[in-house]
Amino acid sequence: MKPLAIKNSWVLVTGASTGLGRASALRLAASYQAKPLIVGRRLDNLRELQTEIDERFNVPCEIIVADQREIEGREKIAAKVAELQVTAALLVAGMTSVGSFDAGRADTYAEVIETNILGFTDLLARLIAIFREQPFESSVIAVSSLAGETSVPFQAVYGASKAYVSTLMRALSVELAGTGVSVGSFAPGGIDTDMAALSDLKWGRLGLMDVDRCAARAVRALVYRQSFAIPGMGNQLTYLASRVLPRSLVNRIAALPYRRP
């Protein structure tokens, strides 16, 4: 598919206060001169990113402080997207919970499901409705995870929520064909961010992908309107292996990086 022209256009990036979202906003400004519309709950982080984008790249950047779990937050995002005539959206916001399933608490699981599934779905529907009305083409990439392509013992609810994201985006990429709105999912393995640090992995940062490298691939998937992308050869091989090996074996291998509580 023809790459989307995003130079001087507004691009929505959720989850921009840290990690992959932050690095993607920087990449959009640095390599494409696209104007990031950045979202998160932590205003200080977003202000710092806005200043960095201005000072390093002289590119406009706007902030939305919003909680994806709250309807008011999603309404605020959608209103700004319509006002600025945003061309593309990189939906990065997400959260995890780590540990034995039965040791988890209802409120933690609710938070993961409300952020990664419920809030995400409503926001996505609002964005697609806006994009379909605009007289130009647009692109949406939702960040899922390799965890959504296999299963993830000790991060089970998170993995299940990312499987939801992948399946949804796959269906929508067909449903929206020919509308001018392209959608897809981006499935990284471990990335060297706060979230991976939270996951308390047995081998520490070993094998985690550099966040800037991952962001470059995510932005590329957005611009090239890919329906599914996995960054990095190692992750691609892992994905292929997970498709051919017996499921029971794949599930056991997926548990290896975690310290057993």
Ligand X SMILES: NC(=O)c1ccc[n+]([C@@H]2O[C@H](COP(=O)([O-])OP(=O)(O)OC[C@H]3O[C@@H](n4cnc5c(N)ncnc54)[C@H](OP(=O)(O)O)[C@@H]3O)[C@@H](O)[C@H]2O)c1
> Would you tell me which residues interact with ligand X (CB under 6 A)?
15-21, 40-42, 45, 67-69, 92-95, 115, 143, 145, 188, 190-191, 193-196
CB of 143 to ligand X, least distance (A): 4
Report the distance separating Cα 129 and Cα 200, nearest Å: 39
CB 27 within 8 A of CB 222: no
Q: Whose CB is nearest to ligand X?
A: 19
CB of 48 to ligand X, least distance (A): 12
Q: Which is nearer to ligand X, 52 or 137 (CB)?
A: 52
CB of 74 to ligand X, least distance (A): 9
CB of 192 to ligand X, least distance (A): 8
Q: Which is nearer to ligand X, 95 or 223 (CB)?
A: 95
CA distances to 5, 46, 125, 131, 141 from 136, in Å: 10, 28, 18, 8, 17
Nearest to 13 by CA among 170, 141, 166: 141
Report the distance separating Cα 101 and Cα 119, nearest Å: 22
CB of 161 to ligand X, least distance (A): 8
Q: Which is nearer to ligand X, 7 or 243 (CB)?
A: 243
Burial of 193 by CB count in 10 Å (0-12 exposed, 13-18 middle, 19+ buried)? buried
Q: Which is nearer to ligand X, 16 or 113 (CB)?
A: 16
Nearest to 87 by CA among 26, 6, 173: 6
Q: Which is nearer to ligand X, 45 or 251 (CB)?
A: 45
